[in-house]
Amino acid sequence: MSSAEEPKHKNFITQIIDEDLASKKNDTVVTRFPPEPNGYLHIGHAKSIVLNFGVAEDYQGKCNLRFDDTNPHKENEEFVDAIKHDVEWLGFSWGDKAYFASDYFEQLYDYAVELIEKGLAYVDDLNAEEIREYRGTLKEPGRESPYRNRSVEENLDLFKRMRAGEFADGEKVLRAKIDMASGNMNMRDPTLYRIRHGVIHHQTGNEWCLYPMYDYTHPLSDAIEGVTHSLCTLEFEDHRPLYDWAIENTSVPSRPYQYEFSRLNLQYTVTSKRKLTQLVEEGHVEGWDDPRMPTIAGLRRRGYTPESIREFCYRIGVTKADNSVEMGMLESAIRDDLNENAERRMAVLHPIKVVIENYPEGQVEELEVANHPQKPEMGTRTIPFSREVYIDREDFREEAPNKYKRLVLGKEVRLRNAYVIKAEEVIKDANGDIVELRCSYDPATLGANPEGRKVKGVIHWVSAQHAVAAEVRLYDRLFNHATPDAASAKADKPFTEFLNPDSLRTLTHCYLESSLAKAKEGERYQFEREGYFCRDATQAADGKPVWNLTVTLRDSWAKIEQQS
């Protein structure tokens, strides 16, 4: 992880900030993160959060959390709370109060009146379809609305009556009077206000039936809050002239500037709130916090740490280049973190029982083992050893070539942290499936090989009578296509066609070492030789605790992709 002293961000944006501070254009740095509360935050938002809050931290400035709540139709309080929780969990603080664009509705209304008075805004009676028609195309200029030249007095009167609720939805809008022939479509008299009756806004209730548009609200809110650098994604580049227009033509208290960076696209998933909403609403996933979702809530439940997500954001950097980041980048950030910081445990995911016939019945030895092989400071714990243990089905073969370093019938293997055992006999059921292994152990091999004895293979195990029964959920990529959006456009099929049907494999009969009986929600461990796992908050249908695979020990996908 990056050291505390060095600034975490160095990119074209911090370069601009450095210049602005050097030239005294600004004497402090104020940024903002402006989510719309119409869904949960995803990994793309994390990039924006880490940038906005991180830059503010680096420059001892501040970053406001401001809900962009101008479209009450799809927004609600659940999303507001989830967003706050996620930003906090990522390790950032927005000071004593979260802001809402709706806090400024009254001020924004006054600025609109100011625009009308200056002859820079007018009430239009064209309906949505007509407005679209009049707007023209990229090749053809637009046409002016027949209502464009209403007098200031008439506009003021109509605008007041729009607010008072005298007109129906869509009957009138307020538009900026800019330039219907502009080469930039956003400047062809964009709509500033629309009428929405009958929706209860989560902050302002039914106080308003008149709602400002994002492109109008955003710059003015920035200016009201004294934002200096308004950082947004590249799709807003064409909106910048409108951003500047709104600020330059109203008597706002400060002059923010907008800068754009490229959005994060992550392979094998989607980062569009609309699509994520669809996955949730159509039941393709369990919910916004399904561990396969690229949401912050999903990643948290999957076992990601806030540190790993921040580190991932630093590693991908901030540029203007279009990009599609490999899932392996995100996975290696959490793998690096947990490799350092997660304690080791033993867990058997596909158990077969091993009876050690020469081990005394009823005897239990408490073996002291290290919590982390390279970090003695992480301490030790004891694990019970007894006559019956579980090992993984994958760790036994009746016959195997010499390079198979696990248990083979008639041969020896070491049980990690314990004894060397030898497989003597295989017990099978009527179908030929293995029910049990009969083994012997060598009491002289506890913890180390006696001199001259070479047993190379080491496998993990848990004591059968002490083990905790658990359900383990193994996750794979949510989509089986690296760029589901592009694939869906190309094949003209819904993006859900590219969901990976094997993204969740549930193992219902796993056994964990007894120390995990007390593990709480969110605790993370390396299950030795298996991967990193995190205790889920929920229980399985049969009451067992649930553990989620966070990430495998190695990047198995890199290998697969190399081979293909």
So which residues are the catalytic ones? 36, 263, 273
Residue 273 DSSP SS3: helix
Residue 484 DSSP SS3: helix
Pick the binder of ligand ATP from 223, 264, 389, 519 (CB under 6 A): 264
CA 546 to chain centre: 21
Pick the binder of ligand ATP from 20, 21, 36, 440 (CB under 6 A): 36
Give the interface size with ligand ATP as a residue count (CB under 6 A): 15
Are the C-beta atoms of 301 and 40 separated by less than 8 Å? no
Least separation, in Å, of the C-beta of 80 and ligand ATP? 11
Least separation, in Å, of the C-beta of 273 and ligand ATP? 4
Main-chain dihedrals φ then ψ at residue 181, nearest 5 degrees? -105, 5
Pick the binder of ligand ATP from 8, 31, 40, 45 (CB under 6 A): 45
User: In this chain, which stretch among 3-11, 29-37, 400-408, 447-455 interacts with ligand ATP, using CB under 6 A?
Assistant: 29-37
Nearest to 470 by CA among 529, 544, 548: 544
- CB-wise, 45 or 172, nearer to ligand ATP? 45
* 63 lies in the site for ligand ATP, by CB under 6 A: no
For residues 64 to 83, the per-residue mask of contacts with ligand ATP, x marking binding by CB under 6 A and - elsewhere, is ----x---------------
- CB-wise, 62 or 273, nearer to ligand ATP? 273
- CB-wise, 35 or 306, nearer to ligand ATP? 35
* Alpha-carbon span 538 to 548, nearest angstrom: 11
Pick the binder of ligand ATP from 26, 64, 267, 271 (CB under 6 A): 271
Are the C-beta atoms of 439 and 390 separated by less than 8 Å? no
Main-chain dihedrals φ then ψ at residue 529, nearest 5 degrees? 70, 0
What is the token pair recorded at 10? 């160095």
User: In this chain, which stretch among 182-190, 263-271, 346-354, 518-526 interacts with ligand ATP, using CB under 6 A?
Assistant: 263-271
- CB-wise, 155 or 271, nearer to ligand ATP? 271
Residues 214-233 that bind ligand ATP (CB under 6 A): 232-233
* Alpha-carbon span 439 to 387, nearest angstrom: 10
Least separation, in Å, of the C-beta of 40 and ligand ATP? 10
For 18, 433, 434, 435, the CA distances from 430, given in Å and listed in that order, are 76, 7, 10, 10
Least separation, in Å, of the C-beta of 6 and ligand ATP? 23
Q: Tell me, what DSSP letter sits at residue 4?
A: S
Least separation, in Å, of the C-beta of 86 and ligand ATP? 12
* 48 lies in the site for ligand ATP, by CB under 6 A: yes
Residue 130 DSSP SS3: helix
The residues, ordered by sequence, that sit 6+ positions from 463 with a Cβ below 8 Å of its Cβ are 364, 383, 384, 385, 386, 388, 389, 513, 514
Question: Distance between the two ends of the chain, CA-based, in angstroms?
Answer: 33
Strands (E), 234-332: 257-261
Query: Which residue's entry shows tokens 């000071």?
Result: 95
Q: What is the CA radius of gyration of the chain?
A: 31
Least separation, in Å, of the C-beta of 31 and ligand ATP? 10
* 531 lies in the site for ligand ATP, by CB under 6 A: no
- CB-wise, 147 or 259, nearer to ligand ATP? 259
**Other C-beta atoms within 10 Å of 15: how many?**
10
Pick the binder of ligand ATP from 150, 172, 273, 345 (CB under 6 A): 273
Least separation, in Å, of the C-beta of 539 and ligand ATP? 33
Least separation, in Å, of the C-beta of 108 and ligand ATP? 18
* 244 lies in the site for ligand ATP, by CB under 6 A: no
Pick the binder of ligand ATP from 263, 397, 509, 544 (CB under 6 A): 263
Main-chain dihedrals φ then ψ at residue 187, nearest 5 degrees? -95, 0
- CB-wise, 68 or 412, nearer to ligand ATP? 68
Measured from each CB, the residue nearest to ligand ATP is: 44
- CB-wise, 47 or 292, nearer to ligand ATP? 47
* 309 lies in the site for ligand ATP, by CB under 6 A: no
In the sheet with 62-67, reading across from the earlier edge strand, the strands are 30-33, 62-67, 99-100
Strands (E), 57-182: 62-67, 99-100, 121-124, 173-176
310: part of which helix (H) or strand (E)? helix 306-316
- CB-wise, 14 or 48, nearer to ligand ATP? 48
- CB-wise, 175 or 239, nearer to ligand ATP? 239
Q: ∠ at Cα 248 (247, 249), nearest 5°?
A: 95
Least separation, in Å, of the C-beta of 503 and ligand ATP? 21
Number of H helices, E strands in the chain: 14, 27
* 239 lies in the site for ligand ATP, by CB under 6 A: no
The residues, ordered by sequence, that sit 6+ positions from 350 with a Cβ below 8 Å of its Cβ are 392, 393, 394, 507, 510
* 44 lies in the site for ligand ATP, by CB under 6 A: yes
Residues forming contacts to ligand ATP in the complex (CB under 6 A) are: 34-36, 38, 44-45, 47-48, 68, 232-233, 263-264, 271, 273
